[in-house]
């Protein structure tokens, strides 16, 4: 993750900027997700009094015991022991844009102005009956991992709503996330009144020394094939391509090349993910040494197993199916899907994997690496 100084400050400024600026240049729209949006679920706690933001066009109930500030239409709720850099805290902003926009464009705008925070893939959500998008956010500051969530809703094509919550990672799940859910569930929308806000002024952040940008996630260096005493060779893919990819290099097809480097189950940038979360997609991986194949091992690191077909690719580019199945949810993750087979009578140089993410409603089936075992040609 990228290091981000002054996390809460950056979020506050990006919220103000998002509210004030127009969408004159439209960002690239995210691929349409046809899955049903999830209704906002309460965290089960009690909230404080209601606050009505006329300029923002929304009302909500305050987080209990939190400090509450409101300025230029932006709400800031922080825990009594919150730090300026990491929270815990909530920020909420709403209001009118000068040009029409969509939820996807608003999410992309907030991501672009996120001050170096990492933003996960967006999923549909409903707030006060209106469809919006929700995504996890994260960052790192002074060696401390930050976790949180953002929600965006275009109430009308011109009226927007953004809510963000961040905290040290060890205080997000058990402490701030339930409060975030409760406050979000209390939100009600109405027509915003821009005249109630007044002129917007964004204070400048004190200058800080620049830190060198961290490189985007890359695959480990290619490894030499391993050969045992019987002559059996095991190797990781050296290249990959896919029907689509959520990003590049993060979540790109090449994340499935090389040895596994995703250490735990989750939505990680170091594994391949398709653009859509409810689509049928394929991943092809290729190897330096063609072999008479005896085994394929697919390392799945998120929402296994939605693999419905596995095909071997010969040196002429022809494919032969070795596995077909319907999607079936697993109780464990990560998963190593091992397919043993009688030694092929043709040399294999690649593997094609098809995933069907439209059946179970789990979202992305992410693949970190694919190992091929077999005997090299003589």
Say if CB 110 and CB 122 are below 8 A apart.
no
Take residue 22 and report the two structure tokens written for it.
């127009």
Query: Is the pLDDT score of 3 beyond 70?
Result: no
Does position 31 have pLDDT exceeding 50, yes or no?
no
Q: Work out the pLDDT band at 32, boundaries 50, 70, 90.
A: very low
- How far apart CA 95 and CA 16 sit, in angstroms, is 10
Percentage above 90 pLDDT, the chain: 46
Distance from CA of residue 145 to its chain's centroid?
A: 16
pLDDT beyond 50 at 24: no
Q: What pLDDT, on the 0 to 100 scale, is given for residue 87?
A: 81
Q: Which domains does the chain have, with CATH numbers?
A: 7-196 (3.40.1000.10), 226-376 (2.60.120.260)
Mean pLDDT of 141-155: 84
- Tell me whether residue 211 is exposed, middle or buried, using C-beta atoms within 10 angstroms of its C-beta: 0 to 12, 13 to 18, 19 or more: exposed
Average pLDDT over residues 54-72: 86
The percent of residues in the chain predicted with pLDDT above 70, rounded, is 77
For the entire predicted model, the pTM comes to 0.49
Average pLDDT over residues 116-128: 84
116 or 62: whose pLDDT is higher? 62
Measured between alpha carbons, how far is residue 16 from residues 19, 114, 160 in Å? 5, 12, 12
> 343-373: per-residue pLDDT in tens?
999 999 999 999 999 999 888 999 999 999 9
pLDDT at 219 over 80: no
Q: Mean pLDDT highest for which of 61-75, 97-111, 317-331?
A: 317-331
**pLDDT score for 35:** 52
Neighbours of 112 (CB within 10 A): 11
Tell me the C-alpha distance between 75 and 52, whole Å.
11
> Mean pLDDT over residues 319-337, rounded?
92
Q: Are 109 and 9 in contact (CB under 8 A)?
A: no
What is the model's pLDDT at position 101? 87
Nearest to 287 by CA among 226, 237, 352: 237
Backbone angles phi, psi at 319, to 5 degrees: -115, 145
Q: Is the pLDDT of residue 123 over 50?
A: yes
């Amino acid at each position: 993750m990228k290091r981000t100084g002054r996390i809460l400050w950056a979020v506050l400024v990006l919220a103000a900027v998002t509210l004030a600026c127009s969408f004159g240049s439209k960002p690239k729209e995210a691929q349409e997700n046809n899955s049903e949006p999830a209704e906002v679920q309460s965290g089960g706690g009690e909230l404080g009094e209601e606050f009505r933001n006329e300029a923002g066009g929304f009302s909500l109930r305050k987080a209990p015991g939190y400090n509450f500030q409101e300025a230029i239409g932006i709400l800031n709720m922080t825990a009594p022991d919150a730090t300026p850099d990491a929270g815990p805290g909530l920020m909420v902003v709403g209001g009118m844009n000068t040009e029409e926009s969509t939820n996807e464009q608003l999410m992309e705008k907030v991501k672009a102005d996120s001050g170096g925070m990492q933003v996960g893939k967006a999923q549909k959500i409903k707030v006060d009956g209106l469809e919006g998008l929700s995504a996890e956010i994260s960052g790192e500051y002074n060696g401390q991992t930050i976790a949180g969530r953002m929600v965006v809703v275009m109430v009308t094509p011109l009226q927007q709503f953004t809510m963000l919550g961040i905290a040290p990672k060890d205080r997000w799940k058990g402490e701030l996330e339930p409060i975030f859910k409760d406050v979000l569930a209390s939100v009600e929308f109405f027509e915003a009144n821009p005249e109630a806000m007044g002129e917007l002024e964004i204070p400048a952040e004190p200058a800080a020394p620049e830190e060198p940008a961290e490189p985007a996630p890359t695959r480990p260096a290619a490894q030499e094939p391993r050969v045992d005493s019987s002559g059996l060779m095991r190797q990781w893919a050296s290249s990959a391509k896919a029907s689509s990819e959520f990003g590049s290099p993060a979540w790109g097809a090449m994340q499935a090349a090389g040895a596994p480097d995703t250490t735990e189950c989750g939505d990680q940038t170091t594994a391949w993910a398709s653009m859509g979360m409810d689509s049928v997609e394929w991943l092809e991986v290729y190897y330096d040494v063609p072999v008479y194949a005896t085994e394929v091992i697919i390392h799945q690191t998120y929402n296994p197993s939605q693999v419905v077909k596995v095909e071997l690719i010969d040196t002429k580019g022809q494919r032969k199916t070795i596995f077909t199945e319907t999607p079936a949810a697993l109780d464990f993750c990560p998963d190593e899907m091992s397919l043993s087979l009688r030694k092929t009578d043709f040399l294999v140089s690649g593997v094609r994997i098809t995933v069907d993410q439209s059946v179970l409603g789990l979202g992305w089936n992410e693949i970190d690496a694919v190992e091929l075992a077999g005997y090299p040609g003589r």
